[in-house]
Chain A
Amino acid sequence: MNRGALRAFVVKELRHILRDRQTLTILLLMPLVQVILFGFALRSDVRNVRVAFVDPAPDYATVALEARFRETTRFVVVSSGRTMSVVEPLFRRGDADVAVVFEPGFAEHLRGAEPARVLLVVDASDPNTGTVMQNYARAVIASYEQELPAPKGALRIATQTRMRFNPTLESVNLFVPGLIALVLTLVSALMTAISLSREKERGTMEVLLVSPLRPVQIIVGKVLPYLALAFANVVTALLAAWLVFHVPFRGSVLLLLAESIVYALVSLALGVLIAARTTSQRAAMLGAMLGTMLPSTLLSGMIFPIASMPGWLQPVTNVIPARWFIIIARGIMLKGVGLPNLWRETLILCAMAVVLMAASVRSFKPRLAS
């Protein structure tokens, strides 16, 4: 008896969603555009480092060293002069990243007993980039030093590095798990909250209440289409990432989809809770932003590593569902691990889902009744 009513309700919801072409287009486009941007444009490694030379007394050694920098693809020479005065404005304007300052008599010192000195001035506004750029510069200088005739018997320890799970440091590989979480949160939490609160505001919710549908069914009926939509979105993004950028998918797809469902349920429950507790559509929008979108993007480890966060903030991130999902998604996609490794995080997500869903159903009933 009620199943027919529920189905009609779900169909109606789907029609609503499909009719709002604009929102639908944006929802489908957003993850695609992000994948494309991350795949083609955004890089976290450091390239095109602009280097300026300050050489008060050029000699064969400084010229040779300068040539070394020019030869590399990492560095782009932007200026070569005698004094620092040229360089300072370059830094301020953001036209130079590193300055290599030679001391006078460089070649002479190389031939003699004292070490030849060079100063690296690095724009450390971005400390990470600053460190990396400094390292690149040192490496160039070191390789030049290596090839000097009769080098000092200094020891060299060469380091061979392997980047595990992401050999090329492709940022798209790193971002796709976060993208999935973002899309799921957006559709499951934000859109559900808006849709439910809109019905409340318009008064159509009361009509539903008088119908043979039970409150639980109303919620399920509302929520099911958004779940389907979230899924369609996730699959699209994953396909795009895989086909176009060959983002690795080393683990089980089924497991990832299953975990995504759990995470979606958590977000949906949050969306329902927010709609139940707010009195207008705009308030629901605001609440969903503050309560789901912001924490999911900022505190989940999606963009900013949790290990880098201040000590007091790190435990706080434990209540953010997205944090656990990101670990799971990254584990499955990048490392190819399965439940044996991820059981702890999965359990936490499932527990969150159960608790929040119960809370949302309970909070919606008295609201609807009032």
Chain B
Amino acid sequence: MRTLRFLLRKEFLQIFRDRLMVLQMIIMPLFQLLLLASAATFEVKSAKMYVVDRDHSSASRGLISRLQAGGRFVLAGASSSMSVADEEMLGRRAAVIVSIPADFERDLVRTHMAQVQLVMNAEDGATAGVTQSYAAQIIASYAREIGVSIAPAVREGPSIEVRSRGLYNAELNYRDYMVPGILVQLVTVVGTLLTAMNIVREKELGTLDQLSVTPLGTGVFIAAKLIPLWLIALLELSLGLLVARFVFHIPMRGNLLIVFGAAGLYLIAALGIGLFVSTLASTQQQAMFVTFFIVMIYLLMSGMFTPVRSMPVWAQWMAQLNPLKHFIEIMRAVLLKGAGVTDVLRPLAAISAFGAVVLTLAVRQYGRRIA
């Protein structure tokens, strides 16, 4: 449509003449990407371990050195007093306390069974669970190793050998897992926030009224507002993917076209939300706050930080209505697992449905301004 052409020209001129906007669209997200990708990890490197060894036997000493052997646990100190250990933990000088009781070796030899107590500092988050897993694994394999020397008269009996293989993330690199989600978040913030603020700015300045008096159709106006930001957000996604590939070496095992297709659909939803917000806010500050509020909720419930599967059932249902969740899922599936279109049909459908609904609602809400 001819009018659309005129409006698009105006939008692009305005966007690129606005230095702040360019900063917000390109520099800030890239900066955020670099920062986030570096900082966003829940990886547990090495934990400071404090030992309370009341046995002082070769078995207990063997256990302690085995724990340190892999580098996952670093000895921060040892004593025979639990209260000293506790002080160390309170002072954040120890993350784990390994407490070995007095009859450790004797129990092992006599009953083939002994206990060890682990006290984890659960202050810092999910890392406590992971650290515990590592400790448990090391202790279990230690038990198998010394079984040969302590109980050499091994009777024949059943045993199960468990091997394990981790898929999609050979180096157990947290970054590979987080970066797809980060990219989604950036594109969302830019798309939704800038759309909302852009339209509200016209409201604030009064230029919106001027346009409303013209025969300009609502549809054309909205299209002109959404199309440039849609394109720019896609451009940003491409830049982000480039950075992800060449700076952070994130694997890209699947077809990137799927990613872009999903992004195109997803952005319609994201921009639609921005449009909706613009009908609610009358100042740019309000637009910013409302957008952050909504995006924050979506982000928290998207599975980016905590797994959706662990949420209660009602929350998981809500997550189905969350386009961010679906898009992050698609990104992770395609980039890390090499998924194809058929594998991500469900989330794609969900995103499309959401986009259609939001856009319709937003357009309708927009048309209601006059009354």
- Chain A interface (Cβ < 8 Å from any Cβ of B): 20, 22-23, 26-27, 29-30, 33-34, 37-38, 40-50, 89, 91-94, 97, 109-111, 113, 115-132, 134-135, 137-138, 141-142, 144-145, 148-167, 169, 171, 174, 194, 198, 280-283, 285-286, 289-290, 294, 298-299, 301, 303-305, 307-310, 313, 327, 330, 334-335, 337, 341
Contacts and interface: CB of A to CB of B under 8 A. Distances in A.
A156 B333 contact: no
Contacts of A30: 293, 296
Given A89-B343, A156-B112, A305 B125 contact: yes
B129 A132 contact: yes
B68 interface: no
A235 B45 CA distance: 36
Nearest to A174: B125
Contact of A282 (B127, B161, B284, B307): B284
B143 A285 contact: no
A308 B41 contact: yes
A27 B39 contact: no
B205 interface: no
Contacts of B353: none
Given A154-B151, A161-B119, A174-B125, 16 more contacts: A22-B280, A34-B296, A42-B300, A45-B310, A89-B343, A117-B162, A118-B163, A128-B126, A137-B162, A151-B158, A153-B151, A156-B112, A298-B39, A304-B41, A307-B124, A341-B91
Contacts of A135: 133, 136-137
A23 B158 CA distance: 67
B286 A20 contact: yes
Interface residues of B, number: 113
Nearest to A156: B113
Contacts of A149: 158
A307 B153 CA distance: 45
Nearest to B97: A164
B260 interface: no
A145 B159 contact: yes
A164 B35 contact: no
Contacts of A144: 160
Interface of B: 20, 23-24, 28, 31-32, 35-36, 38-45, 63, 89-92, 108, 112-130, 132-137, 139-140, 142-144, 146-147, 150-151, 153-169, 172-174, 176-177, 280-286, 288-290, 293, 296-297, 300-301, 305-307, 309-312, 315, 318, 329, 332-333, 336-340, 343-344, 346
Contacts of B172: 124, 127, 130-131
| Among B24, B301, B344, residue most surrounded by chain A Cβ atoms (within 10 Å) | B24
B127 A308 contact: yes
A28 B127 CA distance: 31
A41 B176 contact: no
A44 B41 CA distance: 14
24 contacts: A22-B286, A45-B129, A46-B309, A93-B333, A115-B161, A120-B163, A121-B167, A123-B167, A127-B169, A128-B174, A135-B136, A138-B164, A150-B157, A151-B158, A157-B63, A157-B116, A157-B143, A158-B116, A161-B132, A163-B120, A298-B35, A307-B45, A308-B45, A341-B91
